[in-house]
Amino acid sequence: MGIVAKGAKCDVDGCSNDGARSLNSSKVENAGLRLRSSAKKAVLCKDHYKEWKKETKDDRELERARFDRF
């Protein structure tokens, strides 16, 4: 059972929604979201996960392109 399934709340400063995803906290902070704790994993609610995806779209595409075969 993961931390999201146990009912963890969103770790973004000022948010108290239920968590939907857990990500590496350094990747979340690099996207510009402020976290209230400094753990290894950060729990994000659905809205903040969507915001994180929009902020990191270009970086994730470049990362995937490194592993694609021609």
**8-44: pLDDT as tens digits:** 999 999 999 999 999 999 999 999 999 998 889 999 9
Q: What is the pLDDT of residue 37?
A: 83
Based on the structure, what is the number of domains in the chain? Answer: 1
Indicate whether 70 pLDDT > 70.
no
10: amino acid identity, one letter: C
Q: How many CA atoms lie within 13 A of 30 on its CB side?
A: 10
Residue 70 to residue 53: CA distance in whole angstroms? 26
Residue-wise pLDDT tens digits, 38-67: 889 999 999 999 999 999 999 989 888 888
Note down the domain range covering 25.
Answer: 3-68
